[in-house]
Amino acid sequence: MFVPFGLFNAASGSPVTGITWVTHWWMPLSTPWFSAIAEEAVFRLFLVTLCYLVLRPAFNNTPTIAVVLAVLFSGIVFGIGHGGSIMNRFLITGMLYGLPMAVVYAKRDWEHAVGAHYMINLIPMTLVFLET
């Protein structure tokens, strides 16, 4: 499911500049892992869980609403946390990338969200690597 998102991410432009094969051959594999683990720990593991714990008492009869609001909030904050214009950050990064990864975290677990994030970042990094 996340391979098309990675291809779309690659089509939107190069994530980094100045990578050469000789000096930075390790970057296409390590950079996506670092960003996947760091961002998923902050935006999913911490933020979704915290929002759910705060909202759960308010929606005691229907905890699904607390999950949906926590997932939406995480996607919005994820989008705002990335660079670009307001519409690019909110719509593309937040709703197209952040929201599905938050849903994966809520429905499955954190490891699957990290794997999805890794796939989204791996494809553009690999294409940059192949260009150089």
18: left (phi over 0), alpha (psi -120 to 50) or beta: left
Q: What is the pLDDT of residue 126?
A: 80
Residue 7 has pLDDT above 80, yes or no: no
Q: What is the pLDDT of residue 5?
A: 76
What does the alpha-carbon distance between residue 38 and residue 59 come to, in Å, rounded to a whole number? 30
Q: pLDDT tens-digit profile of 41-96?
A: 999 999 999 999 999 999 999 999 999 999 999 998 888 888 667 777 777 788 88
pLDDT classification of 14: cutoffs 50, 70, 90: low
Note whether 78 and 98 are within 8 A (CB). Answer: yes
Q: What is the pLDDT of residue 22?
A: 46
What does the alpha-carbon distance between residue 74 and residue 122 come to, in Å, rounded to a whole number? 22
How many distinct structural domains can be found in the chain?
1
Q: pLDDT tens-digit profile of 109-122?
A: 999 999 999 988 88
Domain coverage including residue 20: 2-131
Q: What is the pLDDT of residue 72?
A: 94
Question: Residue range 15-29: average pLDDT?
Answer: 61
Q: What is the pLDDT of residue 12?
A: 67
Q: What is the pLDDT of residue 128?
A: 74
Q: What is the pLDDT of residue 26?
A: 72
